[in-house]
């Protein structure tokens, strides 16, 4: 598809004309870039970049209109007093200057606001967290409810005065409005509880109070969960009743998202198929005559075009894809699809939600002011050794700056550990990122030498001005009795098909690699036991993804043993020690997945022999993809 038409048609929400159908989805506290809840230059630069990149509507999320005396989350922006207006006005002016419209999402989590003056509050004293040690929240009094409604109204006024084009009331997830809507968390017997009419009263009163503050022409919209996917909560059938009511009371668009964060259903993870939740908004669109926004796991503009073209939604929200590549809309409009850096749905941006947002594939996200790419004052001959993510990122950025770069890769293709990381199930997004990096290297003008393993002598004799060693890592082979047996293989050998295993497999190591290998083999009908010496399986997996991996492994009947230190491997299995006792686990094959160690021999041999030497990624210390890409970017812009 060379041209997208429907996605780039303008649309109106109320009186607000928007240049295309792409919405930047709201996320926590404006990215965590605030200082004392005030707008910073960093926040302005982040949103300006997305507006410049072509997004039609930018929704800034989770601004609290209630003074809890303590911010809902570190680095969050807020809107509970007039002193915030000038800074927010500077932010909206910056976005408007780039041609985008901007809305703000008003929200209060209530039960999550644990340190605030209100304490942990909710419509009722119902625990809905996965945290078994959680204490019940305190039910709001009628007086507090009325005060909260007025707080939302004042927040709406401040948003208008700050130049936001619209206000979105967050009635999705487990926000205070969402808690009132759900029969799970709203057990009240007064006018704010009971049937759907009672449970909607808080939201409807918020809308009415807000409308009175800003007048009939200002755009107001609501974000609702198509279903909260919580046992005892509200379902899509209830939302089908809510939607026409919201249209009748003056909502000018509905933003339909997925369920609560506490729901036992994966919504945003890489394992979730693209476009899996479009049906929620599509269902609501059939019942109302106002624009319906939807998305979640829509990271491809071609898919977004198809969704709009078939009439499933009026607008598509993309949050993480615009963090990964703020230029996505412009590139898509120009037909430059191969130049779009894809969001891999790795969820790292969610894992660090309590801190400032950052992105694995885009080192500049949140660092737009400091991470500029300037032409090199003194172009150099640069050798990059290793074609993994760090090596490719270095090559791309250094070439953009005007350096003459040669990339050496001992294998027959670029990708490094990304190629292996893409092999387990539920990792289908990673190859897109690998292909993106490879294409950008090809376009960079750098010389690429495949099937070339250079030595320190080769490099010294060639005389480069700078060398970046990105040679990655190799699997650790632990010092365990029996580790050299014929029935022992590494996770890498299994994933790449170099070695076969028997029907009963013991995996030594329950981190990310061990878990992914377990799923890989379970899909092939193997009976799996994981032995992990720590007290948690998947300890190095991000919190947003870890629970989904454990959920799948339990479903696959993978046996998971913690605090188990392997002391010996035999032909029949593994002897392990746990809390002073030993036990034997029978198996036909043993897979080693205890981590990686740096492959940095070349770097050591080059020390003191080249003018400039840098070591990045696993070659410096085995870590994550984000460490390799961010280090590669940083070094490339400093050379």
Same domain, 32 and 174: yes
The answer on 523 and 387 residing in a single domain is: no
Task: Let me know if residue 606 belongs to a domain.
Answer: yes
Mean pLDDT of 38-46: 96
Residue 71 has pLDDT above 60, yes or no: no
Given 563, 579, 594, the domain boundary residue is 594
Q: Is the pLDDT of residue 577 over 50?
A: yes
The average pLDDT across 434-456 equals 98
- HSE at residue 487, side-chain half, CA atoms within 13 A, is 21
| pLDDT number for residue 131 | 59
Q: Per the domain annotation, does 338 fall within a domain?
A: yes
Residue with tokens 């400039």: 612
Distance CA 65, CA 78 (A): 7
Structure tokens at 18: 């928007």
**Domain identity same for 133 and 102:** yes
| One domain, residues 469 and 506 | no
pLDDT at 7: 97
Q: Is residue 226 one of the residues assigned to a domain?
A: yes
The pLDDT of residue 133: 67
Residue 29: give its domain's CATH number. Answer: 3.20.20.70
pTM over 0.85, yes/no = yes
Do 492 and 567 sit in the same domain of this protein?
yes
- Give percent above pLDDT 90 in the chain: 89
pLDDT of residue 2: 61
- pLDDT bin (cut points 50, 70, 90) of residue 135 is confident
Handedness of CA 598, 601, 604, 610 (dihedral sign): negative
Residues 606 and 590 in one domain: no
C-alpha 539/C-alpha 518 separation (Å) is: 15
In this prediction, residue 174 has a pLDDT band, given cuts at 50, 70 and 90, of confident
| Number of domains comprising the chain | 3
Q: Which domain holds residue 175?
A: 6-351
pLDDT for the residue numbered 417 = 94
Separation of alpha carbons 165 and 161, rounded Å: 10
502 pLDDT above the threshold of 50:
yes
176-182 average pLDDT score: 95
The answer to the question of residue 372 being in a domain is: no
Q: Tell whether 318 and 391 lie within a shared domain.
A: no
pLDDT digits (tens, 9 = 90+) for 339-353: 999 999 999 988 875
Mean pLDDT of 570-596: 96
One domain, residues 260 and 242: yes
Residues 556-595, buried b or exposed e (16+ Cβ, 10 A)? Answer: eebebbeebebeebeeebbbbeeeeeeeebebbbbbbbbb
- Could you tell me which residues are beta bridge partners of residue 138? 121
pLDDT of residue 69: 65
CATH number at residue 563: 3.50.50.60
Instruction: Tell me the mean pLDDT in the region 447-453.
Output: 98
Domain for residue 526, yes or no? yes
Express each pLDDT in 474-491 by its tens digit. 999 999 999 999 999 999
- CATH number of the domain at 440, please: 3.40.50.720
Give the residue-averaged pLDDT of 513-521. Answer: 98
Residue 132: the pLDDT is 60
pLDDT at residue 116, rounded to an integer: 45
Whether residue 369 lies inside any domain: the answer is no
Q: What is the pLDDT of residue 115?
A: 44
Q: What is the pLDDT of residue 202?
A: 98
With cut-offs at 50, 70 and 90, classify the pLDDT of residue 137.
Answer: confident
Give the residue from 178, 228, 184 showing the smallest Cα distance to 203: 178
CB atoms within 10 A of CB 435: 15
pLDDT in tens, 254-282: 999 999 888 899 999 999 999 999 999 99
106-140 in b/e form (b: 16+ CB < 10 A) is bbbbbbbbeebebebbbbbebebeeeeeeeebbbb
Q: What is the mean pLDDT of the chain?
A: 94
What is the bridge-based pairing of β-strands 573-578 and 565-570?
Answer: antiparallel
Tokens of 74: 């570190």
pLDDT, residue 120, reads: 82
Same domain assignment for residues 31 and 104: yes
Are 296 and 397 part of one and the same domain? no
Is pLDDT of 114 > 60? no
Burial 191-212 (b: 16+ CB within 10 A, else e): ebbeeeebbbbbbebbbebbbe
Confidence of residue 357 (pLDDT cuts 50, 70, 90): confident
Give the pLDDT score at 128.
76
Which has more pLDDT, 340 or 138? 340
Ordered alpha helix ranges (H), 296-386: 301-309, 320-324, 328-333, 348-351
The tens digit of pLDDT for each residue in 384-438 reads: 999 999 999 999 999 999 999 999 999 999 999 999 999 999 999 999 999 999 9
pLDDT band at 31 (very low <50, low <70, confident <90, very high): confident
- Other C-beta atoms closer than 10 Å to the C-beta of 599 total 17
- The verdict on 559 and 624 lying in the same domain is no
Tokens of residue 468, six digits? 């970046």
74 in a domain, yes or no?
Answer: yes
Confidence check: pLDDT of 30 > 90:
no
In a domain, 483, yes or no: no
pLDDT at 147: 96
Mean pLDDT, rounded, for 519-524:
98
Q: Is residue 132 domain-shared with residue 281, that is, in the same domain?
A: yes
């Amino acid at each position: 598809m060379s041209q997208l038409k429907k996605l780039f048609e303008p649309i109106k929400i109320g009186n607000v004309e928007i240049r295309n159908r792409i919405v930047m989805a709201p996320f926590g506290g404006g990215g965590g870039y605030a200082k004392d809840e005030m707008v910073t230059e960093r926040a302005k630069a982040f949103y300006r970049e997305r507006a410049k990149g072509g997004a039609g509507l930018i929704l800034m999320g989770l601004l609290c209109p209630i003074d809890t005396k303590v911010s809902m989350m570190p680095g969050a922006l807020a809107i509970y007093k007039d002193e915030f207006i000038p800074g927010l006005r500077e932010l909206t002016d910056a976005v408007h200057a780039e041609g985008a419209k901007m809305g703000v999402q008003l929200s209060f989590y209530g039960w999550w606001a644990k340190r605030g003056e209100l304490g942990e509050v909710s419509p009722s004293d119902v625990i809905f967290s996965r945290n078994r040690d959680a204490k019940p929240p305190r039910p709001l009094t009628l007086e507090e409810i009325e005060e909260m409604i007025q707080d939302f109204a004042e927040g709406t006024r401040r948003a208008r005065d700050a130049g936001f084009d619209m206000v979105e009331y967050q009635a999705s997830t487990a926000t205070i409005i969402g808690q009132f809507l759900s029969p799970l968390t709203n057990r009240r017997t007064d006018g704010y509880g009971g049937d759907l009419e009672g449970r909607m009263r808080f939201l409807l009163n918020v809308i009415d109070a807000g409308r009175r503050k800003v007048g009939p022409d200002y755009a107001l919209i609501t974000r609702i969960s198509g279903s909260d996917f919580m046992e005892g909560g509200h379902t899509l059938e209830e939302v089908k009743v809510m939607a026409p009511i919201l249209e009748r009371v003056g909502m000018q668009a509905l933003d339909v998202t997925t369920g609560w964060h506490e729901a036992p259903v994966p919504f945003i993870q890489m394992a979730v198929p693209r476009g899996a939740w479009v049906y929620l908004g599509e269902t609501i669109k059939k019942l109302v005559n106002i624009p319906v926004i939807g998305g979640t796991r829509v990271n491809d503009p071609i898919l977004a075009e198809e969704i709009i073209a078939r009439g499933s939604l009026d607008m598509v929200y993309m949050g993480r894809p615009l963090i990964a590549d703020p230029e996505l809309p412009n590139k898509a409009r120009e037909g430059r699809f191969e130049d779009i850096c894809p969001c891999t749905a790795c969820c790292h941006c969610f894992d660090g939600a309590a801190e400032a947002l950052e992105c694995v594939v885009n080192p500049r996200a949140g660092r737009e002011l400091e991470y500029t790419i300037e032409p090199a004052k003194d172009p150099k001959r640069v050798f990059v050794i290793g074609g993994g993510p760090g090596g490719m990122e270095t090559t791309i950025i250094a070439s953009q700056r005007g350096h003459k770069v040669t990339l050496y890769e001992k294998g027959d293709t670029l990708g490094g550990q990304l190629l292996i990381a893409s092999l387990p199930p539920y990792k289908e997004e990673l190859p897109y990122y690998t292909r993106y990096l490879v294409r950008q290297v090809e376009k960079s003008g750098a010389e690429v030498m495949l099937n070339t393993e250079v030595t320190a002598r080769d490099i010294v004799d060639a005389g480069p001005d700078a060398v970046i060693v990105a040679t990655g890592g190799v699997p650790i082979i632990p010092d365990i009795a029996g580790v050299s047996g014929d029935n022992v293989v590494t996770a890498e050998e299994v994933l790449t098909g170099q070695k076969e295993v028997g029907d009963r497999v013991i995996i030594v190591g329950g981190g990310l690699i061990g878990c992914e290998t377990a799923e890989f083999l379970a899909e092939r009908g193997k009976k799996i036991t994981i032995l992990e010496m720590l007290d948690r399986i998947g300890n190095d997996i991000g919190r947003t993804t870890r629970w989904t991996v454990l959920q799948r492994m339990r479903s696959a009947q993978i046996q998971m043993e913690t605090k188990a230190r392997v002391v010996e491997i035999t032909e029949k299995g593994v002897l392990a020690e746990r809390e002073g006792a030993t036990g034997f686990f029978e198996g036909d094959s043993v897979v080693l997945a205890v981590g990686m160690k740096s492959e940095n021999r070349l770097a050591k041999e080059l020390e003191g022999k080249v003018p400039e030497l840098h070591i990045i990624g696993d070659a410096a210390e085995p870590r994550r993809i984000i460490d390799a890409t961010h280090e590669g970017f940083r070094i490339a812009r400093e050379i």
